[in-house]
Structure 1
Amino acid sequence: MRIRTKMLEIFIILVYIFTYVVKCFFVVRNVVRLFAKALPKKLYMDKAYEKLHDTLMFYGVDCVLPYYISSGNPIPEFPETSFRVDYYAVCVCVEGQIEIEIDNLQYHLSENEFLVLAPSTVLRFVQTSGELRMRLLLFDKNFLLKNIADPFFLDKMGLFTGRSFCVIRSNGDDANRIFSLMEYLKEVSERNGRYTLDLVRTLIFNVLLEVAEIVVNEKQTSDKTLEEGNCLFFRFMELVCKHVGQHKDVAYYADCLSVSNKYLIAMVKRGAGKTPHQIIDEYILKEALALLGNPEKTVSDVAYAIGFNSVSAFGRFFKKHSYVSPSEYRRAQLSGQEI
């Protein structure tokens, strides 16, 4: 009897200890949250922004959509530290000037000049002059892939020739044409219709094609002036686009290009700021997203179509890079949701 009583007392003590620890945990968590909210904005945001939502939150914009179109209002401040974007961006300077460092290269943007960014670009805002106003179009890297026949469409546009960004010096007519498109895009994006998302996708394609047309018309340097490293990078990208379904190892592409793995890695990193392996994974993911958008193909069909030996291996790869399983992604797409 005494043993049972003693055991009961010990059990009650353990319950009290456990309850106390849990309470302490929640108290500490709430204190940390309050402290984070009390921090100055610039200090609190002193981190590597990656997602679109994180960047917008710096400006107090709580946007949960996979895209954002700004109104062109003055931009009072910028993050003080560099950050790597995980989305696409089209930025048009409306008024004022800005010095910006892009992948360790410094550029000056003024009225009617464009900046187009691809995921993985590293930015650092140096300084501004005058009242800076910019029209911004930002969208998640996978947003345009739904219902698209060619998942490598953006890569073939010519906006990112050897780099993950493009700086465009345009005239007033070109800029006004883009302004008009972005104004209409913003108007459409604020609708709540059945086809709003599809309309937004289509209009974003229109904006990108118009910008690509400006790049072609304004391009002053011929392809012959490209240095060896860029030529190698372009050839690598072409090979990946053609063979990524059958070959996922860097060594295969190095052999095709008659260079060592080390040299290929160095040239690709210089051209895109990413390793060959990262680019290969991105291409595989794009192909997977496009194929999963076809309801006639099973997840198993998709896995084998892009060169995986098993559905489980494909599932692990897909979840690692998109944070959801292939089945979850497909259900969301079929129900009209965005991930």
Structure 2
Amino acid sequence: MEKPIQILSAYEYKLQFLPCINSVTLQDKSQLQLYKIEEYLKQIVIPVAPYRTSFNFLLFVSEGYVKQQLESENHLIGPGQILNIKQGSITRTHELSPDVKGFYLIYENDILSSISLSRQDQIFLTSDPVILLQESAYNCMIKTFELLDAELHTDYVQEEICLTFFKAIMLKISRQTSHKPLLSMARELYITYKFREKLQQEHKEHKNVIFYAQQLNISETYLNKCIKKATGKPPKQWINEICVQHSQILLRDLGREIADVAYELNFHSLSHFSRVFKKVTQLSPSEFRLQVLNQY
């Protein structure tokens, strides 16, 4: 059976994908790390196998583009765009343009908690992984990243100053979307945010709605109501879709048997996996794999 998708720490990520970095950068285990894409990520060894990270990270592109996979979708991130990748998400880099420039920001969950964002800012920060900055915000973002970069690479890093710049970046991102139409749904959005966060972590082991309701200390009925109101889809559909998205990534590895994919994702049986897969995609796993083969 093939190895499951790796969960990489920041150290392991740099060790595996950035072979030319110096030992000081490799050993940096700070909860907040910032690197220029053109100086570090352009060394990345492509093609990259899918992986998960134990940290969150932002890709902010100022010139050129980065083609990055997040779950089962490919995103082309160009100038003025940010891709926010949450801890535990399946991702990989497909391509970097020769002229790409920008910043790669690693941040741990603890550092995000320490800047005390409001509940609403946390929700909007994670509501959409791709952010297109307005022109005024773009210029401000460039300057803030440059200030953070300068501070993080001084001999005597002052944590409070770094946290101030980091908070400014996160607030700029979260407030690119107008919040007002959604204020009346604050409770439903918060529950949806927590549900999707739990789902990202637990979908391999737990596929029943009741588990997530218990984790959030609410009833299954109320969870169904909140998720349906906020997203238009019931939680069971979310569970099925994320499991199938994960399976599609595994099925692209032609060395894996379909039965092994079903087993790795903890489906009761191959037939159960096939039913869920077809319900979400209108294709059987075999038909999906045939499509993949035809792409080569």
TM-score normalised according to structure 2 size = 0.56
Contact 2:33–2:106 (CA<8 Å) still a contact in 1? yes
Matched, 1:196 2:158: yes
Amino acid at match of 2:141: I
Residue-by-residue CA offset, 1:65-111 (whole Å, 9 max, x unaligned)? 11111134341334511111222222111222232221101221222
1:201 to partner: Cα distance: 1.7
Aligned length: 206
Contact 2:36 2:101 in 1 (8 A): no
Which residue of the partner structure matches residue 311 of structure 1? none
Do the aligned partners of 1:48 and 1:83 also contact (CA within 8 Å) in 2? yes
Residue 43 of structure 2: aligned partner = 76
**What SS is found at the alignment partner of 2:221?**
helix
User: How much identity, in percent, do the aligned residues show?
Assistant: 10
Q: 1:155 — aligned with what?
A: 122
Secondary structure at the counterpart of residue 181 of structure 1: helix
Structure-2 residue corresponding to 1:123:
91
| TM-superposition CA deviations, 1:128-167 (whole Å, max 9, x none) | 3332222121111112324x556857633x0222xxx511
The answer on 1:48 being equivalent to 2:48 is no
Mapping 1:239-318, distance limit 5 Å = 248-249=214-215, 252-258=218-224, 264-267=235-238, 270=241
Match of 2:167 in 1: 205
Does the Cα contact within 8 Å between 2:56 and 2:108 map onto a contact in 1? yes
Larger radius of gyration: 1
Task: Read off the aligned partner of 2:163 and give its amino acid letter.
Answer: R
Instruction: Tell me which amino acid in the other structure corresponds to 2:125.
Output: L
Deviations 1:55-74 (A, max 9, x none): 23332331121111113434
Three-state SS of the structure 2 residue aligned to 1:257 is: helix
- Which of 174, 187, 203 lines up with 2:150 in the alignment? 187
Q: Distance in 2 between matches of 1:105 and 1:97?
A: 16
CA 1:273–1:205: 2 relative to 1, 3 Å = farther
Whether the 8 Å contact between 1:233 and 1:268 is mirrored in structure 2 is no
1:175 corresponding residue in structure 2 = 138
- CA shift for structure 1 position 173: 3.9
Say if 1:78 and 1:125, in contact at 8 Å, map to a contact too.
Answer: no
Match of 2:29 in 1: 64
Instruction: Tell me the CA shift for residue 266 of structure 1.
Output: 4.4
Is the CA contact (8 Å cut-off) linking 2:64 and 2:98 kept in structure 1?
A: yes
SS, match of residue 96 in structure 2:
strand
Tell which has more relative contact order, 1 or 2 (C-alpha 8 A, sep 6+).
Answer: 2
SS in 1 for 2:146: helix
Paired with 1:185 and 1:213, the residues of 2 have a C-alpha distance of 20
RMSD: 4.0
Cα distance in 1, alignment partners of residues 190 and 159 from structure 2: 33
- Match of 1:120, SS state, is coil
**Following the alignment from structure 1 to structure 2, what is the Cα–Cα distance between the partners of residues 100 and 131?**
16
SS at match of 2:106: strand
Separation in structure 2 between the aligned mates of residue 172 and residue 151 of structure 1, nearest angstrom? 25
Residues 107 and 152 of structure 1, relative CA distance in 2, 3 Å threshold: same
What SS class does the counterpart of residue 130 from structure 1 fall into? Answer: coil
Return closer, same or farther for 1:270/1:114 CA change in 2, 3 Å cut-off: same
Query: Who is 1:304 aligned against?
Result: none
1:172, 1:149 → 2: CA distance? Answer: 27
Cα pair distance change 1:54/1:253, threshold 3 Å: farther
TM-score (norm 1): 0.50
Structure 2 unpaired stretches of 5+:
198-212, 226-233, 246-296
